[in-house]
Each structure stands twice: as C-alpha cells, then as structure tokens.
C-alpha cells in the first residue's frame, strides 16, 4: 500500500472526470477452489486497489461525485475470524489508512444505492468480470446480468483509463521491482534449458521465484518447446536437444504491479544456424520497436515497422519475397507473426483490459485494423510519456496455418511456400521487453534480461555445470 495521500489524490482526480452521480468500485471476494474455506490466492480488483488501496476481500468503495463524500462498505471481522486469522484492523481503521472518513457495514451499501436510484441519480460502475460481483450489481441496480456489460458507465471507464494509463514515480518503482523478479525467473529458466528436463519442473521453479518476491506470477506461465503455440500453458514435454524453449512469464509485486517478459533459449546451449538466423530477425525487430517508441508516435505504426523488419529478414532468407512494404500492407508477415506488438502494462499485465480493450488501446483517432495479425494488436493509440508497454515481436512456424495459406494461395505473391517444408518442426521465437515511454523516447524497465544470442547460449551452458 502507498501513502494515504496517494489514494486521496487519485479519488480527487477521478471526481473531476465524472460529472455527476455516484461511483461504485467493487472489491473482489475470496474464490473457492473446491469447498468454501479452501480458497485461491486472493487477488484484489485493480480499479478498487488503485483508488482505495485496501487488499482485503469483501469491500466496496462508493464516491458521491456531487457531495464529494467517500465511503467504504464492509464488515468487521468476528471473534471466530480473529481466532483463525489473528488480530485484524476494524473497518474504520482500514478507512483511515487510505484517507476515507466514512466506513459502514456492508448491508448499508444497499440503502445508499437505493437512495441514489430513488432520486434518479446516475450509478456508475465498471464492467464486472466475476460472477459474484455480477450478482451483487444486479441486486443493487436491478439491471439484468446479461445487460451489465452494456450498462457499465462509459464515462467512468474513460476516466479510469485516462488516470491509470500514465504511471507516476511510485508506480514506476513498483514496476522495476516486478521487472527484477522477472529477470530472476527468466535467467533461472535459461539455466534449466537442457535435454531431459521436464517443462513443468522449470515452470514450478520460476513460479516459486515470483512467489518469493511477493505474489504469484502476473499471469499463468507460458513455457514450451512448442513455441509455435502462442499461449502454450501445457508444460508436459521433456525437453529435447536442439529444440527452442520459449518462456513468457512475469512477476507481480505485493502491490500487484506486473512485469511481462519473453525469452527463447536453445535447449542444450547452442543455437543452430537456422535458429540463429530467425532469432536475429526477431531481435532486430525488438530493437527497432524500442528505437521508434516515443511520445506522439502511434504504436500501430511501430507494430507495422517491426513487421517490416521481420518481412525483410525473412526475404533475405528466401522465405518471403516481393516488395517488403507491399507484403506488410497485404498482411503477409502475419503468417509468421499472427499477433500484435504489445499492450499496456501496470497493475494488470494487460492493463485495464477488464474495462474494454477498445478504450485502453485505441481512441477516436486510431481504430483497430481489420486484418489477420494486425487485428490482434492490443495497443494502437499514440504513445504518451508515462505509458508502460510491452514490445514483443516474434516469428513462428505454425504447420496448420502454413497449410491453410498454402492450399488457399493466401499471399502467394509474397511467400515462398516451398521453402517452409524445412521449418515445420522449428517452433517459435518471441523476445519481449517492458518499456517506459519517456519525454523523448523509451527506456527498458529494469535491467535487460540477457537477449543477445551469445549471452543466452552462455547462460544455458552455465546451468549445465
């Protein structure tokens, strides 16, 4: 938790961006694994913790825009709770910690909302993503569960996106801590990239590293020698000599700020010539994207420039052909990179996606592109100082997708399909860094995880000693 003044100021700013009515910010509750008292690791709602800072279940925050009143609703723990959990702050004490004057029992929430509804006031809430909060909002507002997404307050969504998009110094320090945890995770994975190692063993070790730094990983770990499957959460393989191990993983601080990195390592410690050629192209695209990222530049344009680096590199290898600009305009590169260059990051690894990606990654000027590959770009809008984003180009050889394009002659003017027979068992390479947009460019968050191929080979080999 930050100093109470941080949350007071954030709520003050929020009130200036919403015209009238009351704002409801629902905290999360415990979620049971297999019976009520056996719960998953608690994760507070990011919007609630951004404005109210309290990392406890069973809380709701209410802000009256016109009167300026701020309230916390929740129940004090019982003696039975204290026996099992130890001494706990009262609701009033919790409220004081974050600069809120009014703390009331949970049931009083219904009275406050019903009074606002009876007076015809606006009830602002964000799109709910958990079942229990959907039920709560239905009880509070009488909006049907099926209509809650549509009835969520666009005014509130845009206000939160505006505030959370630009990270302050305290947040940047948290993100650096998350980056340090991610660095440890990835170096450990590199050192374990040896023949005969079970993927799950590596995944478990690096998950433990994140936990030891404050919280579980910022998202389920993606780790596989079948890196051509973009989000491969299956960790069942035994690593084979000469394959590529792709690890996409990030840490999360005790305050929930995230990191998100990807590295690809040669199993056994030596890239083949073919692997190194593709790796160098992806690295060049990554470096080019960092070089181009700065305030005022759209990330859509950076994505397309990175795609040109990939198309040009593959052309040099005889895999693609024709004019590079025309190939990217036609979307031919997406056979090899069917995803976007990156996304916003902060309290969430895909920051604020619960609010609607169209509001987080795009605006009235820059809209999503309806073309395979580029349509998966989560962030296209112009960058601003203080944004924190991911930069994650990749090249993948996906046999089913190659066969589809080949049989349907998709982008045949730009792809030498006969050259791809030798790459069906290649897998995939992705290289991802986290960037802070500065006044005149971009800088890496934290120390750069080893990325040059010689460095990576050296670390993998060190793990064999």
pLDDT at 219: 97
CATH superfamily of 4-165: Creatinase/prolidase N-terminal domain (3.40.350.10)
Question: What was the pLDDT predicted at 288?
Answer: 98
Confidence at residue 464, expressed as pLDDT on a 0 to 100 scale = 83
Q: According to the model, what pLDDT value does residue 127 have?
A: 97
Using CA atoms in the order 395, 401, 405, 410, what is the torsion angle rounded to 10 degrees? -60
CB neighbours (10 Å) of residue 90?
11
pLDDT in tens, 195-230: 999 999 999 999 999 999 999 999 999 999 999 999
Q: Where are the alpha helices (DSSP H) in 168-298?
A: 169-191, 199-212, 273-292
The β-bridge relationship of strands 244-249 and 222-224 is antiparallel
Q: Residue 319's pLDDT band (boundaries 50, 70, 90)?
A: very high
Mean pLDDT (whole number) for 168-179: 98
How many other C-beta atoms can be found within 10 angstroms of the C-beta atom of residue 224? Answer: 26
Q: Which of 140, 120, 218, 216 is nearest to 175 (CA)?
A: 218
Smallest CA-to-CA distance from 246 within 257, 233, 255, 259 is with 233
Q: Is the pLDDT of residue 78 over 90?
A: yes
What CATH number has the domain spanning 169-462?
3.90.230.10
- Is this structure's pTM higher than 0.75? yes
Q: Which residues of 149-164 are buried (b: 16+ CB within 10 A; e: fewer)?
A: eeebbebbbbbbbebb
Residue 393 · residue 289 · CB < 8 Å: yes
CA dihedral 246, 345, 73, 145 (to 10 degrees): -70
Say which residues have a Cβ less than 8 Å from residue 184's Cβ, sequence separation at least 6: 209, 213, 251
Mean pLDDT of 183-191: 98
Domain extents for the chain?
4-165, 169-462
**pLDDT at residue 416 is higher than 80:** yes
SS3 391: strand
Give the span between the Cα atoms of 38 and 336, in whole angstroms. 43
pLDDT tens-digit profile of 111-163? 999 999 999 999 999 999 999 999 999 999 999 999 999 999 999 999 999 99
250-278 pLDDT, tens digit per residue, is 999 999 999 999 999 999 999 999 999 99
Q: Above 90 in pLDDT, residue 381?
A: yes
pLDDT for 392 equals 98
pLDDT at 465: 72
Q: Within 10 A of 241 (CB to CB), how many other CB atoms are there? A: 12
What are the φ/ψ torsions at residue 247 (nearest 5 degrees)?
-125, 115
Q: What does 4-53 look like in DSSP terms, one character per residue?
A: HHHHHHHHHHHHHHS-SSEEEEEPP---EEEETTEEPPP---HHHHHHH-
């Amino acid at each position: 938790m930050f100093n109470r003044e941080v949350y007071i100021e954030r709520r003050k700013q929020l009130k200036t961006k919403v015209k009238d009515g009351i704002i409801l910010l629902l905290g999360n509750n415990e979620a049971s694994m297999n019976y009520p008292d056996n719960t998953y690791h608690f994760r507070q709602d990011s919007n609630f913790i951004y404005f109210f800072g309290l990392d406890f279940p069973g809380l709701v925050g209410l802000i009256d825009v016109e009167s300026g009143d701020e309230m916390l609703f929740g129940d004090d723990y019982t003696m039975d709770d204290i026996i099992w959990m130890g001494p706990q702050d009262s609701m009033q004490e919790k409220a004081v910690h974050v600069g809120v004057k009014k703390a009331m029992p949970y049931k009083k929430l219904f009275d406050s909302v019903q009074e606002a509804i009876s007076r015809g006031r606006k009830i602002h809430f964000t799109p709910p993503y958990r079942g229990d909060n959907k039920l709560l909002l239905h009880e509070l507002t009488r909006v049907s569960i099926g209509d809650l997404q549509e009835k969520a307050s666009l005014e509130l969504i845009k206000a939160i996106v505006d505030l959370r998009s630009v990270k302050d110094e305290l947040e940047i320090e948290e993100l650096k801590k998350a980056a340090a945890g991610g660095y440890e995770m990835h170096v450990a994975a590199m050192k374990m990239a040896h023949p005969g190692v079970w993927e799950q063993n590596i995944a478990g070790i690096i998950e433990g590293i994140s936990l030891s730094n404050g919280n579980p990983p910022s998202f389920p770990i993606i780790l596989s020698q079948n890196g051509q499957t973009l989000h491969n959460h299956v960790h069942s393989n035994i690593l084979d000599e000469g394959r590529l191990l792709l690890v996409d993983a990030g840490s999360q601080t005790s305050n929930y700020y995230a990191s998100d990195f990807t590295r690809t390592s040669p199993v056994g410690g030596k890239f083949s010539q073919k692997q190194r050629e593709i790796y160098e192209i992806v690295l060049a695209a990554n470096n080019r994207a960092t070089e181009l990222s700065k305030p005022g530049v759209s990330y859509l344009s950076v994505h397309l420039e990175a795609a040109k680096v990939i198309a040009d590199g593959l052309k040099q290898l005889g895999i693609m052909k024709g004019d590079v600009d025309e190939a990217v305009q036609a979307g031919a590169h997406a056979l090899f990179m069917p995803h976007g260059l990156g996304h916003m990051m902060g309290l969430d690894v895909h920051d604020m996606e619960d609010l609607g990606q169209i509001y987080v990654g795009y605006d009235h000027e820059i809209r999503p592109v309806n073309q395979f590959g580029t349509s998966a770009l989560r962030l296209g809008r112009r960058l601003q100082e203080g944004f924190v984003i991911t930069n994650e180009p990749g090249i993948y050889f996906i046999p089913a997708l190659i066969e589809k394009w080949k049989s349907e002659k998709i982008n045949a003017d730009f792809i030498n399909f006969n050259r791809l027979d030798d790459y069906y068992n290649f897998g995939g390479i992705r290289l991802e860094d986290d960037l802070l947009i500065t006044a005149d460019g971009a800088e890496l968050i934290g120390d750069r995880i080893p990325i040059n191929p010689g460095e990576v080979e050296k670390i993998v080999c060190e793990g064999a000693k």
